[in-house]
Amino acid sequence: MPLKQGFLKFSLNEKGLSLTEALITCAVLALVVGSIYNLLSFGQKSWEATSEGSEAQLSARLAMGRVIKDLREAKEEAGGGEAIAEARSGQIIFYANVDSDSNPERIRYFVSNQIIKRGVTEYDEAQGYGGRETEETLAKSVQAFSLQYADLNSSSLNPPLDQSQRAQIRMITVSLETDVDPDKQPPATSVKSVARLRNLSFAD
């Protein structure tokens, strides 16, 4: 028998897959592909959550460092006057020289839409601190931001404080908590630090 004819006969006699077998094969294949997709999707979501959590932790620590650094530089406003213009539990306005010029800037720390921001107003000879405030975002996903005030003797001063009470502030405890998603991992990041106002007089 010629080789070509023998091969053709073998091919015609070979039994193919039945419809049932084909359906089962497709179902198994779909399950395998679906499992792989779910595994990859879970891995991607876990990586994104971990990445967002790490970013939130870093930004919270950097934000805290900036707040404490500025508070330690608090001093009387240009032309003389008070060093702290507003002292509330969730916002503070004070004066500090944070750039290269000789006049202190007006600094404001506050939270808006779960974002902690730093506002800076430059001093101008003509209009004082009446110019435009420049805002900078320091950290997002803020769940809590609080400030606690104390005098020279470490006695608590309960905000909001009037002018005479603000003049007594010598120590500020800052607490910050960030959480990208409170219902999911990783857990919230909480940082706390204390700033001593070293540029102010420590006499009562």
The H or E element spanning position 157 is strand 156-157
Residue 2 lies inside a defined structural domain of this protein = no
pLDDT of 50 reads: 60
Among 79-83, 91-95, 152-156, the least confident range: 79-83
19-66 residue pLDDT tens: 777 778 788 888 888 778 777 766 666 656 566 667 778 889 999 999
Q: Which positions ≥6 away from 20 have C-beta within 8 Å?
A: none
Residue 20 lies inside a defined structural domain of this protein = no
Conformation bin of residue 79: beta by default, left when phi > 0, alpha when psi is -120 to 50: left
Residue 33 lies inside a defined structural domain of this protein = no
Residue 192 lies inside a defined structural domain of this protein = yes
pLDDT at residue 12 is higher than 50: no
pLDDT at residue 7 is higher than 50: no
pLDDT at residue 16 is higher than 70: no
pLDDT of 86 reads: 97
Average pLDDT for the chain? 85
pLDDT of 92 reads: 97
pLDDT of 10 reads: 45
Q: Give the range with max mean pLDDT: 57-61, 126-130, 174-178.
A: 174-178
- The answer to whether 166 and 81 are in contact (CB under 8 A) is no
Q: Which of 113, 117, 135, 141 is nearest to 55 (CA)?
A: 141
Q: Which positions ≥6 away from 9 have C-beta within 8 Å?
A: none
Burial of 44 (0-12, 13-18, 19+ CB in 10 A): exposed
Q: Which of 147, 161, 149 is nearest to 85 (CA)?
A: 161
> Who has greater pLDDT, 9 or 114?
114
26: helix, strand or coil: helix
Look up the domain containing 111 and give its range: 47-196
d(CA 132, CA 198): 28
pLDDT of 109 reads: 98
According to DSSP, the β-strands at 134-139 and 115-121 are antiparallel
Residue 25 lies inside a defined structural domain of this protein = no
- The answer to whether 115 and 137 are in contact (CB under 8 A) is yes
Residue 41 lies inside a defined structural domain of this protein = no
Among 98-112, 150-164, 188-202, the least confident range: 188-202
State the pLDDT confidence band at 175, using cuts at 50, 70 and 90: very high
Give the total number of structural domains in the chain. 1
pLDDT at residue 180 is higher than 60: yes
- The answer to whether 159 and 88 are in contact (CB under 8 A) is yes
pLDDT of 204 reads: 45
Residue 132 lies inside a defined structural domain of this protein = yes
Residue 161 lies inside a defined structural domain of this protein = yes
Per-residue tokens: 46: 């876990």
pTM: 0.74
- The answer to whether 170 and 196 are in contact (CB under 8 A) is yes
